[in-house]
Amino acid sequence: MEPMSRSKRGAAVLALATAIAAPAEGLRQWAYRDPVGILTVCYGATGQGVEAGRKYSLDECYDRLDDDMTLAIAIVEGCQPGLPEPVLAAFADAVFNMGPTIACDRGKSTAARMLATRQYDAACNQLPRWSYAKVAGVSVQLPGLVKRREKERQLCLSRN
């Protein structure tokens, strides 16, 4: 059997990761502040181009999700090359949601160290630990993050 082409692999990983991100984030076409106060729109898009008071079209939201998740996948592939697809997709969603530390910073993330040594099950089982966010300066566990990390963990472990 021929190995999956790079573009088919990318499409498969993108589909797996966005299948977690889209329902977890929900679609909001008007910009809003997330639980930690970050201006957000569409399916969890933040940063450049998010404007308060502007309505975004469905096409803009779909494009932002694809672009942002494609970037998250590239970040994970850059710091942890060669991951199995479900592991890559799970950690790409985590990076999309909270930034690259979880997958890439071996000094701050046990999961990143485990990915680097190909201890995939152990790395997957670290995902639930990343369900906290600072709200009003206090680290609290958010129910939405608990559910999302569990979905990522299940996807991640599905490579078996």
As annotated, the active-site residues are: 25, 34
Q: Are 65 and 92 in contact (CB under 8 A)?
A: no
Residues with Cβ < 8 Å from 97, sequence gap 6 or more? 21, 24, 44, 145, 148
Q: Which structure tokens are listed for 156? A: 């991640």
Per-residue burial over 10-27, b if 16 or more Cβ lie within 10 Å, else e, is beebbebbbebbbebbee
Taking the CA atoms of 28, 32, 35 and 40 in sequence, report the sign of the dihedral they define.
positive
